[in-house]
Amino acid sequence: MKRHAPFIIVALVALLTVGGATTLYRAKRPAALTIGKDHPAKTESGESTHVLGSPNAPVTLEEFGDFQCPPCGALSSPINQLEHDYQPRLRVIFRHFPLATHAHAQAAAVAAEAAGMQGRFWQMHDLLYREQAIWSKATDVSELFNSYAGLLGLNINQFKKDTASDKTKERVESDRKQAAALGIQNTPTIFLNNRAVPPSDLNPASLRAAVDELLKKDSSSK
C-alpha cells in the first residue's frame, strides 16, 4: 500500500484540479441572454421599433445587428425569407448595435434611420446588407448612401438633412443603450421569443428549426 500511496495522492490531486477547473469554467460562462417583460417596444423618444409581421404573431425574432458585420449580412436574406414563409405567425424586429470596430457601421445605421423617416427603412436595410462589400471598403460612404437613397426613390435633400439630424442619431443610440442593458456584446445577437439564440445556431437551417419548434409548442398549447 505504501508503495502505491504517492501515485494515489497524485491521482487525487489531478482529479481535484480538473474538477476545480471545470467548476471555475462553468462559473465564468455567461448565462444565456434573455429579454425581460419590461423590455421597451419603443425607442426613448416614444417611436415604434422597426417591425415586420403581425403584432399578434406567436413567435418573435428580434435582432441586434450591425450593417457592416458580415455574419449579419449573411443572415439578412434568410431572416427575410423566414418572415415571408411563416407570416402571420412570425414577426421580425431589428435594432441597431453598430460596433466601434466597424468604421462605417454608425453612418450606415443613421442612413437606415433617415430612410425610415420616409417610410423606407426595410428597403434601405436590405440594400445596405446587399451592398455591404462595396460601401464597407469606401473612404467616404456619404455619397454612396445618397445614391442608395436615390435608388429607393427618396427625397435626396430630405435624406441628407435627416442623416445630419440629432433625431436619427438618437434612435440609433437608443437601441445601443438597450443592447448594453441586456449585456449584448456581439453581432448578430438574435432572440427568439425573448431568449438568445446560441452562436452555434446562428445559421439559416438552425434558425428555421428553432422557429418550427416554437410554433409546434404554440400549437400544442392551444
Name which residue leads in pLDDT, 154 or 26. 154
* pLDDT tops 50 at residue 199: yes
Give 45-92 pLDDT, tens digit per residue.
Answer: 334 589 999 999 999 999 999 999 999 999 999 999 999 999 999 999
Band of pLDDT at residue 33, cut at 50, 70 and 90: confident
Q: Residue 215: inside a domain, yes or no?
A: no
Average pLDDT, rounded, for the chain: 85
Q: Is there a domain that residue 138 lies in?
A: yes
pLDDT over 60 (residue 25): no
In this predicted model, what pLDDT tens digit does every residue of 109-147 receive, in sequence order?
Answer: 999 999 999 999 999 999 999 999 999 999 999 999 999
Where residue 56 sits, what CATH number does that domain have? 3.40.30.10
219 close to 57: Cβ distance less than 8 angstroms:
no
Whether the predicted model's global pTM rises above the 0.85 cut: no
- The reply to whether 34 falls in a domain is no
- At residue 32 the predicted structure's pLDDT band, cuts being 50, 70 and 90, is low
Confidence at residue 151, expressed as pLDDT on a 0 to 100 scale: 98
What percent of the chain lies above the pLDDT cut of 90? 76
Residue 36 lies in a domain: no
Residue 10 within any structural domain of the chain = no
Full residue range of the structural domain in which residue 115 is found: 50-206
How many folded domains does the chain comprise? 1
Residue 160 has pLDDT above 60, yes or no: yes
Does residue 14 form part of some domain?
Answer: no
